[in-house]
Amino acid sequence: MKQSTSASPPASGFTRRKFLQGSGAAAAATVLATTGGEALADHHGDEVIAGETTITLHVNGQNRQAVVEPRTTLLEVLRYQFELTGAKPVSADGSSGASTVLIDGKPMMASTLLALSVRDKKIETVESVSQRNSGAVPAAFVEYDAQQCGFCTPGFVVAVRAFLDKNPNASEAEIRAGLNGNVCRCGTYANVLQAVIALVKGGPRG
């Protein structure tokens, strides 16, 4: 008997095309969730980049050139080309908060941002942020022993500075909610909280 050479569609209606479409939607949803619904816009049109290219990034008040590939993250540029090692590569997905930097004043994870996506934006790292207000945030962390191994500390310093810039009179509950994107594996949350409360009250050096 002759066998049919035509393939019948899956009974479930599930196809490779539908799978890929669903995967794309999930990826887009993840980007929106991690950026608070405000995905970074690249203002370079439909430019297509393949291989290495030289770009200019505005970091800590200076324009600096970097050689990147489309997959190069901002964290990689900061650490390995600009030698700004404050932001830490603790988690590739940014869940630890250790790579927190400011992008146009908003705290974001350098480990999850492509370097190409932050051209024309103001980038500020812990090396610059920690000097604001005469170094009030690092001073408070020292005063209240709010660090141990130190891997999370730079991310916390940036997050605290950004939070207090917008919420100078924050309550304890607001502080807890505002810093919930940063993780301390040593468990110094109570000390971090006391340091931020002290800053809200005006000390030390607040």
Percentages (nearest 5) of helix, strand, coil residues in the chain: 40, 15, 45
Check pLDDT > 60 for residue 30.
Answer: no
DSSP conformational letter for 203:
T
**Of 125, 151, 173, which closes a domain?**
125
CATH number for 148: 1.10.150.120
Give me the amino acid identity at 53: T
Residue 102 host element (H or E):
strand 100-103
Lowest mean pLDDT among 17-31, 47-61, 66-80, 192-206: 17-31
63 shares a domain with 119: yes
**Of 125, 143, 167, which closes a domain?**
125
* pLDDT band of 33, cuts 50, 70, 90: very low
Q: Is 173 helix (H, G, I), strand (E, B) or coil?
A: helix
CB 117 within 8 A of CB 40: yes
**φ and ψ at 74, to 5 degrees?**
-60, -40
Is there a domain that residue 35 lies in? no
Is there a domain that residue 83 lies in? yes
**Of 92, 125, 158, which closes a domain?**
125
Containing structural domain, residue 152 = 130-200
pLDDT in tens, 105-138: 999 999 999 999 999 999 999 999 988 888 999 9
pTM: 0.74
Q: Which two tokens stand for residue 153?
A: 């500390």
pLDDT on residue 117: 95
* Bigger pLDDT: 39 vs 59: 59
pLDDT on residue 51: 83
Is there a domain that residue 58 lies in? yes
d(CA 111, CA 115): 10
Is there a domain that residue 6 lies in? no
Residue 21 host element (H or E):
helix 16-34
Q: Is 93 helix (H, G, I), strand (E, B) or coil?
A: coil
pLDDT in tens, 54-83: 999 999 999 999 999 999 999 999 999 999
Is there a domain that residue 73 lies in? yes
* Bigger pLDDT: 7 vs 140: 140
62 shares a domain with 116: yes
* pLDDT band of 204, cuts 50, 70, 90: low
60 shares a domain with 121: yes
CATH number for 75: 3.10.20.30
95 shares a domain with 77: yes
pLDDT on residue 173: 96
* pLDDT band of 15, cuts 50, 70, 90: low
Q: What Cα–Cα distance (Å) separates residue 98 from each residue in 41, 71, 128?
A: 23, 20, 16
Check pLDDT > 70 for residue 34.
Answer: no
Q: Which of 119, 147, 157, 135 is nearest to 205 (CA)?
A: 135
- Provide the CA 205 distance to its chain's centre, in angstroms: 27
163 shares a domain with 110: no
Q: What Cα–Cα distance (Å) separates residue 137 from each residue in 81, 146, 154, 197?
A: 27, 11, 10, 11
CB neighbour class for 106 (10 Å; exposed up to 12, middle 13-18, buried from 19):
middle
Q: How many domains does the chain have?
A: 2
Give me the amino acid identity at 114: L
